[in-house]
Amino acid sequence: MTRRILWSLYTWPVTLMVLSSDCVMASHYESSAIAALAFLDLCISAPSLYVLQLHIWDKKLFNPRLWKIYAFSLCAWDLVLNVFIGPVATGEAFDLSDLIGMMILLPLYFGVFRYAFRKWDEVEGK
């Protein structure tokens, strides 16, 4: 029970952070390319927020292989977006302080990986 409370205390603020950051990114810059990039990021990141909820409540959805592929793809996407694509699209230089956002998301990545590599036989056998 404590695990669920702690994960929930992390999940809801991070959900608001991810959703609001994509909205701010889309509205702050006047380029339609950046708005499309923010929408693409939202489409790729939103399932991770859902998977984190599934992880908290021990609910199995789809084949675990799908989530394994997704977990690696999510990490790769966030790294490429924040380090390479974002600075080029916005015209702002990459700053090491930009890594703070990725550090805040480390538990999210950890939760997605834990969900993807979970042994469901043990969970269902409780």
- What would the pLDDT profile of 91-103 be if each residue is shown by its tens digit? 777 777 777 878 8
> What's the pLDDT score for residue 126?
57
pTM for the model: 0.78
Q: Please tell me the total count of domains within the chain.
A: 1
Provide the residue range defining the domain that includes 111.
2-124
> What's the pLDDT score for residue 96?
77
Condensed to tens digits (0 to 9), the pLDDT of residues 31-87 reads: 777 778 888 888 888 899 889 888 888 888 888 889 999 999 998 998 888 888 777
- State how far the Cα of 27 lies from the Cα of 97, in Å rounded to an integer: 21
Query: Residue type at 122?
Result: E
* Listed residue (78, 74, 58, 69) closest to 119, CA to CA: 58
